[in-house]
């Protein structure tokens, strides 16, 4: 299976960075988005605009990066769209539920289209640099055929399994760990501040000793500096992913007690108007609980 052109759906911050990486690697990319502004931005970088989703699915491969299950189902799981498609494979790179992945794979197979789940680890700036970690699952021959696309967008492709939903479960699990880390950082910074220790000093100590790495360093500095905009990953999407983790846990009889705590904190943040800020803004909830000033 040779991929000569790519149809790309979903031009948020992540999608734009991924399209840019594909263009730099020399791929022909035809783009579609619900709002026209991002399309014009990517056309200026060398992409081609699609008149509609049918044109996207006339390319040899489709890549999508949409926000959630509802968007994927509404836009891309239309039987009429898939029946007329010429694409040989669809890479869904969003974080969606395992149930949607199973449904999408079955629907695509019924129309002779391969379906891969390939969610990613990394924020928008990582996508723009072509340094994502890509979690791929699906038929091995489809993963092999899409290797040039993965190489353009990511620093490493992790083969998770032969069933697409396995990649989504792995990504949901990873985001669950990040959410718990952010909550623990927020609480620890409140504890330090209440006791007269500068949160920035605590974060420097933690990341220079027992917790080096991008999660604690990046989110730790955002929490210590109370810097939650612009959003690299919206808090509302973080709530969605924690709820996905809780759903997977329920389906497999795996208790996630920390998930309930983190879910409630994220939900409280959304209720206080923080949903469009970075999900590090869950720290505002910890500050309110601790009686610390805004």
Among residues 142, 171, 234, 240, the one annotated as catalytic is: 171
Q: How is residue 286 written in tokens?
A: 């910890």
Kindly calculate the radius of gyration of the chain based on its CA atoms and give it in whole angstroms. 20
Q: CB under 8 Å to 210, separation ≥6 — which residues? A: none
User: Which DSSP string corresponds to 122-165?
Assistant: S-HHHHHTT-EEEEEES-HHHHHHTHHHHHHHEEEEEEEESSHH
Distance CA 202, CA 179 (A): 19
CB 124 within 8 A of CB 140: no
- Residue identified by tokens 């469009």 is 276
Q: Running DSSP on this structure, what letter comes out for residue 95?
A: -
For this structure, is 171 an active site residue?
yes
Supply the residues annotated as catalytic: 171
């Amino acid at each position: 299976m040779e991929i000569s052109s790519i149809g790309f759906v979903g031009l948020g911050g992540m999608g734009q960075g991924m399209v840019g990486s594909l263009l730099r690697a020399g791929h022909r990319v035809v783009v579609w988005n619900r709002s026209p502004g991002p399309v014009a931005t990517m056309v200026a970088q060398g992409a081609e605009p699609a008149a509609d989703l049918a044109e996207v699915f006339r390319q040899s491969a489709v890549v999508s990066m949409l926000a959630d299950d509802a968007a994927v189902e509404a836009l891309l799981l239309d039987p009429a769209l898939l029946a007329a498609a010429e694409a040989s494979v669809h890479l869904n790179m969003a974080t969606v539920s395992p149930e949607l992945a199973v449904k999408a794979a079955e629907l695509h197979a019924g129309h002779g289209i391969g379906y891969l789940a390939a969610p990613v680890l990394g924020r928008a700036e990582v996508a723009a640099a072509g340094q994502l970690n890509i979690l791929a699952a699906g038929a091995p021959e489809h993963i092999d055929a899409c290797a040039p696309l993965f190489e353009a967008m990511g620093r490493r492709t992790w083969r998770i399994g032969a069933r697409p939903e396995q990649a989504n479960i792995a990504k949901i699990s990873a985001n669950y760990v990040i959410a718990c880390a952010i909550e623990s950082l927020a609480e620890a910074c409140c504890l330090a501040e209440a006791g007269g220790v500068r949160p920035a000093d605590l974060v420097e100590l933690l990341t220079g000793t027992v917790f080096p790495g991008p999660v604690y360093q990046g989110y730790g500095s955002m929490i210590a500096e109370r810097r939650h905009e612009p959003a690299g990953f919206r808090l509302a999407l973080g709530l969605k992913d924690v709820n996905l983790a809780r759903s997977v846990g329920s389906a497999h009889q795996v208790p996630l007690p920390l998930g309930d705590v983190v879910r409630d904190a994220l939900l409280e943040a959304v209720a206080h108007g923080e949903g469009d800020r970075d999900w590090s803004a869950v720290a505002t909830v910890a500050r309110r609980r601790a009686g610390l000033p805004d």
